[in-house]
Amino acid sequence: MELTFLGTGTSVGIPMIGCHCPVCSSDDPRNTRRRSCLYVKTGQTAFVIDTPPDFRQQMLDASIESLDAVVFTHAHADHIFGFDDIRRFNTLTGTVLPAYGDPETISHIRQIFDYIGTRPNPQGLFRPLIEFRPITAPFQIGDVTLTPLDIEHGVKMTGYILESKGTRAGYVCDCHSIPEESLAKLTDLDVMVLDALKYEPHPTHLSVAESVAYLQQIGARQSYLTHLCHHLDHAQLTSELPPSIAVSYDGLTVRLGN
Ligand SMILES: [Zn+2]
Ligand SMILES: [Zn+2]
Ligand SMILES: [Zn+2]
Protein backbone atom coordinates (compact mmCIF):
# COMPACT_ATOMS: atom_id res chain seq x y z
CA MET A 1 0.00 0.00 0.00
CA GLU A 2 1.22 3.47 -0.92
CA LEU A 3 0.00 6.68 0.72
CA THR A 4 0.68 9.97 -1.04
CA PHE A 5 0.02 13.24 0.73
CA LEU A 6 -1.48 15.58 -1.85
CA GLY A 7 -2.57 18.25 0.63
CA THR A 8 -1.17 18.85 4.11
CA GLY A 9 -2.34 22.41 4.81
CA THR A 10 -5.11 23.89 6.89
CA SER A 11 -8.35 25.23 5.37
CA VAL A 12 -6.91 28.42 3.83
CA GLY A 13 -3.89 26.70 2.25
CA ILE A 14 -0.27 27.88 2.55
CA PRO A 15 0.74 30.46 1.41
CA MET A 16 -2.36 32.26 2.65
CA ILE A 17 -3.74 34.99 0.41
CA GLY A 18 -2.18 38.33 1.40
CA CYS A 19 0.25 36.93 4.00
CA HIS A 20 3.99 37.67 3.79
CA CYS A 21 5.17 35.82 6.90
CA PRO A 22 8.37 33.71 6.65
CA VAL A 23 6.46 30.46 6.02
CA CYS A 24 4.05 31.94 3.45
CA SER A 25 7.02 33.47 1.57
CA SER A 26 9.36 30.49 2.11
CA ASP A 27 11.50 29.04 -0.72
CA ASP A 28 11.18 25.56 0.83
CA PRO A 29 8.57 23.74 -1.31
CA ARG A 30 7.58 21.72 1.78
CA ASN A 31 6.06 24.94 3.17
CA THR A 32 3.61 25.16 0.26
CA ARG A 33 0.55 23.27 1.44
CA ARG A 34 -2.67 22.55 -0.38
CA ARG A 35 -5.86 21.49 1.36
CA SER A 36 -6.24 17.93 2.77
CA CYS A 37 -6.17 15.04 0.34
CA LEU A 38 -4.61 11.58 0.66
CA TYR A 39 -4.11 9.28 -2.34
CA VAL A 40 -4.15 5.58 -1.48
CA LYS A 41 -2.84 3.06 -4.01
CA THR A 42 -2.24 -0.68 -4.05
CA GLY A 43 -1.66 -3.15 -6.88
CA GLN A 44 -5.44 -3.59 -7.10
CA THR A 45 -7.04 -0.25 -6.39
CA ALA A 46 -6.63 3.52 -6.03
CA PHE A 47 -8.80 6.04 -4.21
CA VAL A 48 -8.64 9.43 -2.51
CA ILE A 49 -9.61 10.54 0.95
CA ASP A 50 -11.34 13.94 0.50
CA THR A 51 -11.68 16.18 -2.56
CA PRO A 52 -10.50 19.64 -1.48
CA PRO A 53 -10.77 22.88 -3.51
CA ASP A 54 -7.27 22.09 -4.92
CA PHE A 55 -8.34 18.63 -6.13
CA ARG A 56 -8.01 19.25 -9.88
CA GLN A 57 -4.45 20.58 -9.62
CA GLN A 58 -3.51 17.80 -7.18
CA MET A 59 -4.67 15.15 -9.68
CA LEU A 60 -2.80 16.85 -12.55
CA ASP A 61 0.44 17.29 -10.59
CA ALA A 62 0.44 13.67 -9.38
CA SER A 63 -0.58 12.36 -12.85
CA ILE A 64 -3.53 10.48 -11.37
CA GLU A 65 -5.77 9.27 -14.19
CA SER A 66 -7.88 6.62 -12.51
CA LEU A 67 -9.77 6.36 -9.23
CA ASP A 68 -12.03 3.58 -8.00
CA ALA A 69 -13.69 5.51 -5.16
CA VAL A 70 -13.81 8.63 -3.04
CA VAL A 71 -13.79 8.50 0.76
CA PHE A 72 -14.85 11.51 2.82
CA THR A 73 -13.81 12.43 6.36
CA HIS A 74 -16.30 15.27 6.93
CA ALA A 75 -18.17 18.01 5.07
CA HIS A 76 -16.01 21.08 5.83
CA ALA A 77 -15.41 23.15 2.67
CA ASP A 78 -11.64 22.50 2.65
CA HIS A 79 -12.31 18.74 2.29
CA ILE A 80 -15.12 18.63 -0.27
CA PHE A 81 -15.16 21.63 -2.61
CA GLY A 82 -13.23 19.92 -5.42
CA PHE A 83 -15.81 17.11 -5.65
CA ASP A 84 -17.25 18.32 -8.97
CA ASP A 85 -13.95 17.45 -10.69
CA ILE A 86 -14.70 13.74 -10.12
CA ARG A 87 -16.49 14.16 -13.50
CA ARG A 88 -13.22 13.53 -15.31
CA PHE A 89 -12.77 10.19 -13.57
CA ASN A 90 -16.29 9.17 -14.59
CA THR A 91 -15.32 9.90 -18.18
CA LEU A 92 -11.91 8.20 -17.94
CA THR A 93 -13.18 5.05 -16.21
CA GLY A 94 -16.64 4.97 -17.82
CA THR A 95 -18.22 4.16 -14.45
CA VAL A 96 -20.26 5.61 -11.63
CA LEU A 97 -17.90 6.12 -8.68
CA PRO A 98 -18.79 5.12 -5.13
CA ALA A 99 -18.39 7.84 -2.46
CA TYR A 100 -18.09 6.64 1.12
CA GLY A 101 -18.53 8.59 4.33
CA ASP A 102 -20.45 8.53 7.59
CA PRO A 103 -24.23 9.08 7.12
CA GLU A 104 -24.14 12.68 8.45
CA THR A 105 -21.27 13.69 6.15
CA ILE A 106 -22.91 12.05 3.12
CA SER A 107 -26.17 13.84 3.91
CA HIS A 108 -24.37 17.25 4.03
CA ILE A 109 -22.53 16.53 0.78
CA ARG A 110 -25.79 15.53 -0.94
CA GLN A 111 -27.32 18.89 0.11
CA ILE A 112 -24.32 20.92 -1.06
CA PHE A 113 -23.94 19.02 -4.36
CA ASP A 114 -27.66 18.50 -4.96
CA TYR A 115 -27.20 18.08 -8.74
CA ILE A 116 -25.02 14.98 -8.42
CA GLY A 117 -26.64 11.67 -9.33
CA THR A 118 -25.94 8.32 -10.90
CA ARG A 119 -27.00 9.19 -14.47
CA PRO A 120 -25.93 11.93 -16.92
CA ASN A 121 -28.51 14.72 -17.14
CA PRO A 122 -30.83 14.78 -20.18
CA GLN A 123 -29.14 17.76 -21.88
CA GLY A 124 -25.98 15.71 -22.14
CA LEU A 125 -24.08 18.20 -19.98
CA PHE A 126 -21.89 16.23 -17.71
CA ARG A 127 -22.06 16.11 -13.94
CA PRO A 128 -20.38 13.76 -11.45
CA LEU A 129 -21.89 10.29 -11.45
CA ILE A 130 -21.76 9.12 -7.86
CA GLU A 131 -23.27 6.34 -5.86
CA PHE A 132 -23.25 7.53 -2.25
CA ARG A 133 -22.51 4.79 0.27
CA PRO A 134 -23.05 5.83 3.91
CA ILE A 135 -20.90 3.67 6.17
CA THR A 136 -21.00 2.81 9.86
CA ALA A 137 -18.82 -0.31 9.86
CA PRO A 138 -15.59 -1.52 8.22
CA PHE A 139 -15.80 -1.76 4.42
CA GLN A 140 -13.62 -2.79 1.52
CA ILE A 141 -12.23 -0.94 -1.50
CA GLY A 142 -10.30 -3.47 -3.61
CA ASP A 143 -7.73 -5.05 -1.28
CA VAL A 144 -7.94 -2.24 1.31
CA THR A 145 -10.11 -2.61 4.42
CA LEU A 146 -11.21 0.72 5.90
CA THR A 147 -12.34 0.95 9.51
CA PRO A 148 -14.14 4.22 10.35
CA LEU A 149 -13.20 6.03 13.57
CA ASP A 150 -15.37 8.58 15.38
CA ILE A 151 -13.32 11.72 15.95
CA GLU A 152 -14.18 14.90 17.88
CA HIS A 153 -13.74 17.99 15.63
CA GLY A 154 -16.75 20.21 16.41
CA VAL A 155 -18.67 18.54 13.54
CA LYS A 156 -19.11 14.87 12.70
CA MET A 157 -15.66 13.73 11.57
CA THR A 158 -14.54 10.26 10.59
CA GLY A 159 -10.95 9.07 10.59
CA TYR A 160 -9.93 5.76 9.04
CA ILE A 161 -7.70 2.79 9.62
CA LEU A 162 -6.47 1.49 6.25
CA GLU A 163 -5.34 -2.13 6.13
CA SER A 164 -3.89 -4.04 3.23
CA LYS A 165 -1.73 -7.18 3.08
CA GLY A 166 -0.85 -7.06 6.77
CA THR A 167 0.05 -3.35 6.84
CA ARG A 168 -1.96 -0.78 8.81
CA ALA A 169 -2.17 2.99 8.68
CA GLY A 170 -4.33 5.46 10.62
CA TYR A 171 -5.50 8.73 9.01
CA VAL A 172 -7.08 11.45 11.19
CA CYS A 173 -6.63 14.75 9.38
CA ASP A 174 -8.96 16.97 11.47
CA CYS A 175 -9.19 16.33 15.19
CA HIS A 176 -9.66 18.07 18.52
CA SER A 177 -9.73 14.89 20.56
CA ILE A 178 -9.84 11.15 19.96
CA PRO A 179 -12.61 9.35 21.85
CA GLU A 180 -11.48 6.33 23.92
CA GLU A 181 -13.23 3.77 21.67
CA SER A 182 -11.41 5.14 18.63
CA LEU A 183 -8.08 5.36 20.43
CA ALA A 184 -8.45 1.70 21.40
CA LYS A 185 -8.60 0.76 17.70
CA LEU A 186 -5.42 2.69 16.81
CA THR A 187 -3.05 -0.16 17.63
CA ASP A 188 -0.23 -1.96 15.83
CA LEU A 189 0.08 0.73 13.17
CA ASP A 190 2.90 1.03 10.67
CA VAL A 191 1.92 4.64 10.02
CA MET A 192 -0.26 7.16 11.84
CA VAL A 193 -1.24 10.54 10.37
CA LEU A 194 -2.68 13.14 12.75
CA ASP A 195 -3.84 16.76 12.76
CA ALA A 196 -1.40 19.33 14.27
CA LEU A 197 -2.70 22.77 13.34
CA LYS A 198 -0.29 25.05 15.22
CA TYR A 199 1.63 25.45 18.48
CA GLU A 200 -1.25 27.10 20.35
CA PRO A 201 -4.43 25.28 21.46
CA HIS A 202 -7.46 25.57 19.13
CA PRO A 203 -11.15 24.79 19.82
CA THR A 204 -11.52 22.21 17.00
CA HIS A 205 -7.96 21.11 16.13
CA LEU A 206 -4.99 19.61 17.97
CA SER A 207 -1.94 21.70 18.79
CA VAL A 208 1.50 20.27 18.01
CA ALA A 209 2.06 19.29 21.67
CA GLU A 210 -1.37 17.62 21.93
CA SER A 211 -0.81 15.76 18.67
CA VAL A 212 2.65 14.57 19.72
CA ALA A 213 1.23 13.32 23.05
CA TYR A 214 -1.43 11.27 21.20
CA LEU A 215 1.14 9.97 18.71
CA GLN A 216 3.46 8.82 21.49
CA GLN A 217 0.53 7.05 23.14
CA ILE A 218 -0.54 5.42 19.83
CA GLY A 219 3.05 4.38 19.13
CA ALA A 220 2.93 3.79 15.37
CA ARG A 221 6.25 2.81 13.81
CA GLN A 222 6.23 6.15 11.96
CA SER A 223 3.89 9.09 12.51
CA TYR A 224 3.19 12.21 10.43
CA LEU A 225 1.71 15.57 11.39
CA THR A 226 -0.74 17.12 8.91
CA HIS A 227 -3.33 19.97 8.45
CA LEU A 228 -0.59 22.48 9.27
CA CYS A 229 -1.00 26.26 9.43
CA HIS A 230 1.49 28.97 8.45
CA HIS A 231 2.99 29.21 11.94
CA LEU A 232 4.73 25.89 11.29
CA ASP A 233 7.95 25.93 9.27
CA HIS A 234 8.72 22.45 7.93
CA ALA A 235 12.45 22.33 8.81
CA GLN A 236 12.04 24.04 12.18
CA LEU A 237 9.15 21.81 13.27
CA THR A 238 10.97 18.67 12.07
CA SER A 239 13.99 19.59 14.23
CA GLU A 240 11.74 19.79 17.31
CA LEU A 241 10.21 16.30 16.93
CA PRO A 242 11.43 12.84 17.93
CA PRO A 243 12.58 10.64 14.99
CA SER A 244 9.36 8.58 15.02
CA ILE A 245 7.29 11.70 14.27
CA ALA A 246 7.75 13.51 10.97
CA VAL A 247 6.11 16.49 9.31
CA SER A 248 4.14 15.55 6.19
CA TYR A 249 4.40 17.64 3.04
CA ASP A 250 2.61 17.78 -0.30
CA GLY A 251 3.98 15.12 -2.64
CA LEU A 252 5.38 12.83 0.08
CA THR A 253 4.76 9.14 -0.67
CA VAL A 254 4.96 6.59 2.13
CA ARG A 255 5.22 2.90 1.16
CA LEU A 256 3.91 0.20 3.52
CA GLY A 257 4.92 -3.44 2.94
CA ASN A 258 6.38 -4.61 -0.36
ZN1 LIG B 1 -9.80 20.60 7.45
ZN1 LIG C 1 1.69 33.40 6.58
ZN1 LIG D 1 -12.57 20.28 9.39
The CA distance from 176 to 197, in Å, is 10
We report the CATH number of the domain holding residue 163 as: 3.60.15.10
Mean pLDDT over residues 86-111, rounded? 95
The CA distance from 173 to 187, in Å, is 17
Average pLDDT, the chain: 96
CA of 82 to the centre of ligand 2 (A): 23
- Of the chain, the percentage scoring pLDDT greater than 90 comes to 93
26 lies in which domain range?
2-255
The ligand placed nearest to the CA atom of residue 18 is 2
Mean pLDDT over residues 119-127, rounded? 68
The ligand placed nearest to the CA atom of residue 11 is 1
pLDDT digits (tens, 9 = 90+) for 16-50: 999 999 999 999 999 999 999 999 999 999 999 99
- Residue ranges with CB less than 5 Å from ion ligand 3: 76, 174
CA of 31 to the centre of ligand 2 (A): 10
HSE of 193, CA atoms in CB hemisphere, 13 A: 28
> What is the pLDDT at residue 125?
57
The ligand placed nearest to the CA atom of residue 176 is 3
CA of 18 to the centre of ligand 2 (A): 8
CA angle 190/196/198 to nearest 5° reads 155
pTM: 0.97
The CA distance from 223 to 179, in Å, is 19
Number of domains, the chain: 1
pLDDT digits (tens, 9 = 90+) for 172-199: 999 999 999 999 999 999 999 999 999 9
CB 157 within 8 A of CB 75: no
Residue 117 pLDDT > 70: yes
- Of the chain, the percentage scoring pLDDT greater than 70 comes to 98
CA of 125 to the centre of ligand 3 (A): 32
CA of 230 to the centre of ligand 2 (A): 5
CB 163 within 8 A of CB 42: no
> Which pLDDT band holds residue 76 (cuts at 50, 70, 90)?
very high
CA of 82 to the centre of ligand 3 (A): 15
Residues paired with residue 157 on neighbouring β-strands, in sequence order: 151
